[in-house]
Structure 1
Amino acid sequence: MEMKHLGLFILFYVTSGLFLPAYGDVQPVEVHALNSFKEGIYEDPFLVLSDWNFFDSDPCNWVGVTCSGNQVKKLNISGSSIRGFIAEEGRVLHGNKLIGPIPASIGSLKYLKVLDLSNNELTGPIPSEIGNLVSIITINLESNGLTGQLPFKIGNLQDLRLDRNRLHGTIPGAYANASGENKHGFCRLSSLEYADFSYNFLTGRIPKCLEYLPRINFRGNCLSYKDIKRRTDEQCALVPPANALNTRDSKPAWLLAVEVVTGVTVGSLFLIAVFTFVLRCRSKPSILNIWKKSRRHMAVYVDSNMLKGVTKYSRQELEVACEDFSNIIAVISVCVKEEHWTGHLELYYQKEVADLARLNHENTGKLLGYCIDSSPFTRMLVFEYASNGTLYEHLHYEEGCHLSWSRRMNIIIGVAKGLRYLHTEIEPPFTISELNSSAVYLTEDYSPKLVDFESWKTIVTRPENSAHSISHEGDICVLPSSFEERDLDIQGNIYSFGVLLLEIVSGRPSFCKDKGCLVDWAKDYIENQEQMGSVVDPALKYFKDADLKVICEVVSM
């Protein structure tokens, strides 16, 4: 998947006839439609809709609303991080955090040209009424949680995006050359130029009329093609066949009774076997030598108690989820060759997974799971996706100049909350190995997430003079002196937090070859109240003196 911010455009194109009468120059029914949409929003963190006044304002002057003549033609509130529902009488909006099903009444928008609901949290099936959108040109429903089968009829499209959902069943269409009245399903879309069905759970074959599409647009499904990367057999086994319900309904009653009795019997025997196995495991614990290594492979020891409750992913699952690792934003790989991997490193890796898995705070990165595979050799940590990258990128690259003062203050507060949680609210405490702007990841709404990616780099690169070297069967393992417990440098985190405050406020890196250490540069300014303003990033057009004074006081402590 191409790395991109989740805040995409919300496009809502209409032509004459979608709305009815007027509010000033704009028809009242359009104002009513906008009002219905606003009523469905329950969270607006950036107050984007605050100027939507339905009593004394012209809707064409509202944020995000574009008019042509006396009609609303476009609604664009991208990256607003709003949350809410799509009202029955409301309209189509995309790129935020809308939840719930797509209402069937969407089919009544006869003049709708573009339906873009991508990158939301919509669930349920695609309503069949979507086929009533006779004027529709583009439908984009990617990156939601939609389920069910593809609609048989879907307008006269040119552009269709259904990727990254949980749709199943077959792709409607003819599997042989067809013409005229014999065409059905997607083969009736004579104007279709682009379609993407990737990363669902679709089965069967690709209709003949869609074979012109790139094979990559079908990958990550359960299709029967050797040249298309598919999901694992385990994942595909969970998807019911397209005709499963019909097949079950057609079975005679005596056959269903036999199936039920057989299922109960087999289930009972299975439970007895599991119960016996558990008793044996409790009475006779197994002992494995985690340092034992054969000539070619090391025995992998996984402590089930240590990693209990942590999701384990296979490399194949991650390849499908990350599109062959073309986006590695949330998957961190341990870069160590197999021949250099030892039992001590394996145990440290597992302890690190267990340590990271216990963190649960809105301002710390959430560990979703881990990956241990032997062919090819793989050790990975899987974190939640932070769509806006690192704070360092936003502060020091040109694209990061949009960080306003209030947004920077929110980031500072979030980092402070995260550190308080790590240092005082969990036992044992947790510290970030290298707290800096590269350890702060930003979500779609610029909420900071502290992620400790440096701890593993430290263990595999630490010189021997600062660690214990252990040799076994010709292999050397560098074991940190603090192997048993994480190195809790709370004071170091506090100092680094002060440096980070200066970096956020000034927009300068913590160390610059030309200007030296940031702390030395800022020292004279923060000690002189009249010169404090010189610390502030010159790219900022506005800042609050009271906020700056508090920050300088914290840094000076």
Structure 2
Amino acid sequence: MSSTTASLLHFLSLLSLLSLFSPSYSTTDLQLLLNLKTSLQTPTTTNLFTSWQPTNSLCNFTGVTCNPNNQTTQLDLSNQQLTGSIPFDSICQLKSLEKLSLGHNSLHGPVTEDLKNCVKLNYLDLGNNFFSGPFPDISPLNRLTYLYLNSSGLSGTFPWDSLRNMTGLVVLSLGNNQFDKTLFPEVVVELVQLNWLYLSNCSIEGRIPKGIGNLTELVNLELSVNYISGEIPAEITKLKKLWQLELYRNSLTGKFPVGFGNLSNLEKFDGSKNFLVGDLSELRTLNKLVSLQLYNNGFSGEVPAEFGEFEKLVNLSLYQNQLTGVLPWTLGSKSDFNFIDASENLLTGGIPPEMCKQGKMTELLLLQNNLTGDVPMSYANCLSLTRFRVSNNSLSGVVPSGIWGLPNVGLIDLAMNQFEGPITSDIGNAKSLSQLLVFNNRLSGELPLEISKATALIAIDLSNNQFSGEIPSTVGELKLLNRLYLQENMFSGPIPETIANCVAFNDINMAHNSLTGEIPASIGSLPVLNSFNLSGNLLSGQIPVTFSSLKLSLLDLSNNQLTGPIPQFLSPEAYNGSFAGNSGLCSQNVKFFRRCSSDSGRSQGLWLIILGVAVVAILLLLSVSCVLYLKKGSGKGEDRSLKEDSWDLKSFHVLSFTEDEILDSIKQENLIGKGGSGNVYKVVLANGVELAVKHIWNSDSDGRKKTRSTTPMLTKRAGKSKEFDAEVETLSSIRHVNVVKLYCSITSEDSSLLVYEYMPNGSLWDRLHTCGKMALDWETRYEIAVGAAKGLEYLHHGCERPVIHRDVKSSNILLDELLKPRIADFGLAKIVNRNKSKDSSHVIAGTHGYIAPEYGYTYKVNEKSDVYSFGVVLVELVTGKRPIEPEYGDNKDIVNWVSTKLNSKESVLSIVDSTIPEVQREEAIKVLRIAILCTSRLPSTRPTMRRVVQMLEEAEPCKFIGIIISKVGGSKKEEVEDSDGDHA
């Protein structure tokens, strides 16, 4: 052997020896993980990938686990706010990978067939993401024991047969995906090792197979929100380890099978919204129950007395059944009882007195039964209560005074009973009370002054009682009060002037009392008053001329002692019968009333004189202003310095115009719109560019507008706030193609001008609903929907601080020359403050028909409230109908109307706008489905705007052929939180 050969062999031996002490992980694994990093994005606030550097050992990468041979065995990137698509072809080249966990992120795109190459996987979690398309056949993954695909955005036909060889599966979680309808897959009941089976809301139909009894290891079985029919099989009683059973919202029939009570470990059971019948006797031995929900079925018989002995029961929902007899008197006394809703049954007897014994009860809902007796005194000390509803029973006695002052209660509903006695001064402690409903009782006494301290009140209904005395002037301190119903009582004295301080008033009814004095003229200043009824009182004096500013759908002043002329602006056609029974009224043009004499018209003439004087004064002021304005040609220097001192221009883009060009264009002939905060003008610059200028009036400290003016058609006012500047500067940073561009602000001490780009095609409302509406084809409607959604998505998710629009509607979606949408009028002071909760904002905003339901009783809105309003806009686009139409019925809107049309494919297709061609109607229904998700009653079940955009993009016309019309519902976990249904 030559010396050269010997040296080479020695060198190779040395390399082999060194390899025994060197890291053995593959550079391929390192490169694959670094490639994965480039496919994903994380928020700047996370540091997930900080450790993912080429110079680091991959075993030190966050979320990566290695085996003793330094090979990647686990990749756990769940709950990391990740976005992007997953390169499954690369991941499955990690040859030792046993666990892949990517759940609870915002990942999108398809799940490709490359996944089947991850053959060593025993744990796979892709759940709670936004993937699209079908799930591939993964038959080779026969080592899987945990498979989580729930809420992952999947659709199409699920490959059930690929589970056949996965005999070791312990967890199978496929719920909340829009799979094609399929019969209950028999392969599932062959997986006898299953411990956790979650198949809710994934389009399963047919019967629950008898083979379900084979799954004796099951702890959790969830089959809710499907199309399952037939009876609950007797074999289910073999599942002795069951801890949770969810059968909610199916079409199950029949009684509980004999032996159902053998499920002795059952803690959570929900069989609500089915067609189950019979009594509840099989449940009397389930003494470990924590939550029992059986509402909206056909159960009859009595509530088992044993329920009163259950030591863990905290949640009981039995409403909308045919239950009779009394509730167990000891119900809730031995547990940390939290919630009961047994409304809409035939229950008798009294209210169990000890349900709040542990001081943890939040909601007591027993409305619409045949209950008798009084309200137990124990509930006056139940400080945890947030809802107290016992209306429409036969309850009687005096309401315990502490009930009125519960500090956390948001709704007190005692209506339609036989209660007596007063509302006590304790109500001043009810700081969270938003609705007080006690109509149709025998309550009496004066309304306490302390009611003004219940500052969260939105609705008060005291109608049809025996209240007396004067209406307290302190009512004017309830700034959020929207509805006040005092009719059919014995109130006397004057209507308090302070009522005009309640600027949110929409509906006032004081009919059939003994009110005296004149109608306060200040009521004419209520900006959103819609219905006003003072009929059947003893009111005198004249009808205030200030009513000319009101836009009322109902006005009833009949049967009083009013005198003088009926103002001409109150059209008798609009208010038919509103003035009858006032013999002192007269009119020059209303039939059935005597003609006004010169004396009776004297007051109206006095008003005309005052008006004439005011006009002369205004003309004099305008003349002086015009002189000053015309002087700028000869005294430019002096006048320009005055203008610079008075106006402050802040630009947010490069401007092609001057301040003077804008100021000079604010005149009557350029007026194109009016709003509650000011006027909108169209400005055409010398270079032909068109702008829209919104003129916003400020107010002084007492709310009255001043009249000092130095510029024609432009009144300056005092009190410009620093907050205005701060908010405009924040809004001015918005740069998005689907949000109207704000070029600049021009402000004085008294008013502000906001200069926007001009939208030549008006609003979406104009295009859909006005008399001169122009047809929009489906492709254009779809593009408008996507564009508007992207604008809102940017406001919610793309700004440094989320912007809550609070008035999303079709009239605030403007269209440019190419019919591309722009979100407009997202206004000021609507940005979530860093120093306050980001969950909600206490506001008075919105438009009837678009307002989310939670606003009606909490006045708390957040981004999900915008999502609801946008859902209404989507329904408009699909149906071509307005949010409020007479055909929907009383107190119903387009969302309620659509919900009645979802029974069949034919009825759904019938609500699509007739101008949309038949071949495109199924594409329109894809968008309607998204709209239904957006208008979910529970805010928590509505998608984010980011998700809405993704769903709309997936519903692009012609992208898919056909559509499956399926029930729409959020995950059962979220819906169970609203277990009191409509009673909340």
Whether the TM-score (by the shorter chain) exceeds 0.5 is no
Give the TM interval when normalised to the shorter protein.
0.3 to 0.5
Question: Bigger relative contact order, structure 1 or 2, given CA contacts below 8 A and separation 6+?
Answer: 1
TM-score, structure 2 as length reference: 0.22
TM-score, structure 1 as length reference: 0.37
Bigger-Rg structure (1/2): 2
